[in-house]
Structure 1
């Protein structure tokens, strides 16, 4: 049973971070909503977008993410979580300003790079921040909530991109980074980092704040002392050495994280959402592609809401494995439609292709899309979480660039069928490997 009184500030802090994740999600959903418009004769740019330009526009967000991941690891370790949390609002704001003033594809390239920088920082710092303030029985739900906020942002990006004028949308979304910056001002640094920095008095106050405990109570002091002793006994607050990164526990974590991150990107989890309108055009149904993409966004959001309620009850492992199996089945079904169904069938039963795509994204949201970042943090040894998480997100950005670059080109040159078979194969391989080696991590003590 979750004690909402004790967890009050943990939940509020998560919701404040969710504002920034909402803005990041809207940046992700924006391209799918605007792609057909930007590539049409009515484009607001000097010339319409080509397939190859669109692939760069989509994938440069991953290059920006890589830059954010690489540059954030050391500051996150030495300066703390709060300074990084302030910084990451600014590249997101720059993204929307460039979109507003942009007149050619170069503006889009630079804008998407800045959106990626913000996203890379977000994915490096927020899961770490939550892991260091949250009780173990609510940590999974809180981490899933910020990922769910991203999904909500993607859906809003689809909807607002469809209904609002191209120049109006950036003005609306710029409010979110502003609200986020104001709201996090009152949050203290995590007790974990403050202890590591030798600021015991501040760490104690932070611990009481996030656990919602009275300051002068003997029971409160006892709980903080136990927290301090546990971290000390684990060596978590000691100076990190190269041996902490090169041992059996760490190498096992790296291997599992590599498989998880490959699955997160190469399964199509992210690329399908980014290029949703293009995929629906390949399915040749009579539904309006932007409205179909909105349906996809709703399905993803419902999947992630399901994860919030299930992750701390049934665990991470079963949700991840079920998600991979469901995605593989759905993607092979789409490939079968492209190989064996006639154009007449696709037009008459267009709802079936739409329903299958929604199923793929629903099960992805329930596991692969929502839990990967949580499990990455929980797999890493406590002592190397900051640098390890940042390094893992570097790999994620490289894989995201690869997936976003090849997806539109592969669909254009080889068709949707082979693309879906490729993604399904990744899911099947990951299902076998993780089914054998992935442990359950929901009871790991971090905060």
Structure 2
């Protein structure tokens, strides 16, 4: 039975898929490190605003919003750089470059003498983040089989969420100046493993006319031996012929290519996906989770609740990894958006009534609904986001359109991170939660009636 399971084409441990899985796990080391940076900030921000600040200064609410949102500005720069570099120097070199600004973040954290150090550090973390969210999904889509592409793509956010949980734990239990030394291990291992093991994708090498290297890369990632010579050549030649024909005019992409019927449909879906992904608050709340629990009216320890949320987040993306290529992207997004809207509404109701009544006996309620919110948010709106964003665009404009979309997403990240703490401070937690719930509910309606399924779609077709 085990042998039959391993022989299934959609099994990640299938002999053909093993090197694709290995490459995914190695490049996601930097995603874990990025997640640590996100999660670590949540408990640390509360400390930096208190008299127990581990540094010789305290942060104001305004400084908190700027430090928190700096990652969005950096991501815009990272998106632009990666969009320019990826088609020119290839995925392998781009993957290597990602480690440099991320490492600088932790050096600035260690030597911080003012809020500007943290702002610049978070900005550089954003450069790394913006680069990751373009280079990784595109690279994985080009080396993976269609039957496992969704699972491998979902592992990106799974890795980020593992890092977020580690960040929550490290920020809560380790001294401020010890954390940078611990975390720097990840980008170092990532850089070395990428340098020694990762190869450029066969698609990129074909576009550069390096057909021999492209075939070697194809064989490597498909784990095809010499005994499979005929089948390997047939599959590779089909890819080579398709890409060669489609790329003859790739340098002459015109405005008309962006105005085709498939492209316009993809834009509508992408805009809704981007808005709901960010303005559902899923990313912002992860950054400010400890503050949210402190203001929720619950008597439970905010840092303990935050760590529990980190575990739930991992379970959500694990579910996406398993279900993405079984159920499809659309059904996960429908379930996810409905659950997020419901959970936020209930969380807002509790925090509203906690202002007027003693609800100490119900302190578990905010944790329950926030856990439900995070779990359901991660099975679709987070876990399927980058997979779907790459798959939905026509092949000729895919790289450019995906890059532009992720750049817009980074802008939304910046806006959401800078206004979220201000909204909680001025509107209160209930109104903030209900606003996010309303936006997500509108997305739910769109996903039901208009979103096109991309499960099993070939990356060589529109």
User: TM-score category by the smaller chain?
Assistant: over 0.9
User: What is the alpha-carbon distance in structure 1 between the residues aligned to residue 292 and residue 34 of structure 2?
Assistant: 22
Structure 2: tracts of 5 or more residues without a match: 1-7
Name the counterpart of 1:416: 429
User: What is the alpha-carbon distance in structure 2 between the residues aligned to residue 134 and residue 215 of structure 1?
Assistant: 20
Instruction: Give CA deviations for 1:152-181 in whole Å, capped at 9, x if unaligned.
Output: 000100001111110000000001000001
Q: Once structures 1 and 2 are overlaid, which stretch shifts more, 134-143 or 220-229? A: 220-229
User: What is the alpha-carbon distance in structure 1 between the residues aligned to residue 375 and residue 356 of structure 2?
Assistant: 26
Once the two structures are TM-superposed, the CA of residue 342 in structure 1 deviates from its matched residue by: 5.3
Of 224, 227, 232, the residue aligned with 2:239 is 227
Of 267, 273, 276, the residue aligned with 2:280 is 267
Q: Once structures 1 and 2 are overlaid, which stretch shifts more, 242-251 or 73-82? A: 242-251
Partner-residue secondary structure (3-state), 1:312: coil
Of 296, 306, 320, the residue aligned with 2:333 is 320
Once the two structures are TM-superposed, the CA of residue 429 in structure 1 deviates from its matched residue by: 1.0
User: What is the alpha-carbon distance in structure 1 between the residues aligned to residue 126 and residue 181 of structure 2?
Assistant: 19
C-alpha contact (below 8 Å) 1:328/1:428 kept by paired residues = yes
Name the counterpart of 2:3: none
Name the counterpart of 1:187: 198
User: What is the alpha-carbon distance in structure 2 between the residues aligned to residue 103 and residue 406 of structure 1?
Assistant: 25
Name the counterpart of 1:39: 49
User: What is the alpha-carbon distance in structure 2 between the residues aligned to residue 387 and residue 45 of structure 1?
Assistant: 43
Of 88, 113, 120, the residue aligned with 2:123 is 113
Name the counterpart of 2:381: 368
Instruction: Give CA deviations for 1:308-359 in whole Å, capped at 9, x if unaligned.
Output: 1111000000001110000000001012112334555432211011110110
Once the two structures are TM-superposed, the CA of residue 232 in structure 1 deviates from its matched residue by: 4.1
Q: Are 2:140 and 1:130 aligned?
A: yes
User: What is the alpha-carbon distance in structure 1 between the residues aligned to residue 325 and residue 87 of structure 2?
Assistant: 28
C-alpha contact (below 8 Å) 1:22/1:149 kept by paired residues = yes
User: What is the alpha-carbon distance in structure 1 between the residues aligned to residue 315 and residue 359 of structure 2?
Assistant: 26
Q: Are 2:366 and 1:353 aligned?
A: yes
Instruction: Give CA deviations for 1:69-124 in whole Å, capped at 9, x if unaligned.
Output: 12221211222111111101000000000000101111001000000000000001
Once the two structures are TM-superposed, the CA of residue 363 in structure 1 deviates from its matched residue by: 0.4
C-alpha contact (below 8 Å) 2:74/2:126 kept by paired residues = yes
Of 303, 306, 319, the residue aligned with 1:290 is 303
Structure 1: tracts of 5 or more residues without a match: none
User: What is the alpha-carbon distance in structure 2 between the residues aligned to residue 341 and residue 286 of structure 1?
Assistant: 11
Once the two structures are TM-superposed, the CA of residue 386 in structure 1 deviates from its matched residue by: 2.1
Partner-residue secondary structure (3-state), 2:359: helix
User: What is the alpha-carbon distance in structure 2 between the residues aligned to residue 238 and residue 262 of structure 1?
Assistant: 30
Instruction: Give CA deviations for 1:254-282 in whole Å, capped at 9, x if unaligned.
Output: 22111101111100110111110111011
User: What is the alpha-carbon distance in structure 2 between the residues aligned to residue 103 and residue 357 of structure 1?
Assistant: 35
Name the counterpart of 1:339: 352
Give the TM-score of the pair, scaled to structure 1: 0.97
User: What is the alpha-carbon distance in structure 2 between the residues aligned to residue 251 and residue 234 of structure 1?
Assistant: 20
Of 45, 64, 68, the residue aligned with 1:54 is 64
Name the counterpart of 1:446: 459
Name the counterpart of 1:387: 400
Partner-residue secondary structure (3-state), 2:298: coil
Instruction: Give CA deviations for 1:374-423 in whole Å, capped at 9, x if unaligned.
Output: 10000011222222222111101110011111110000111001101110
Partner-residue secondary structure (3-state), 1:136: coil
Instruction: Give CA deviations for 1:205-251 in whole Å, capped at 9, x if unaligned.
Output: 11111111124712211121122233345558843411322322222
Partner-residue secondary structure (3-state), 2:59: coil
Partner-residue secondary structure (3-state), 1:160: helix
Once the two structures are TM-superposed, the CA of residue 46 in structure 1 deviates from its matched residue by: 3.1
Partner-residue secondary structure (3-state), 2:455: coil
User: What is the alpha-carbon distance in structure 1 between the residues aligned to residue 252 and residue 436 of structure 2?
Assistant: 38
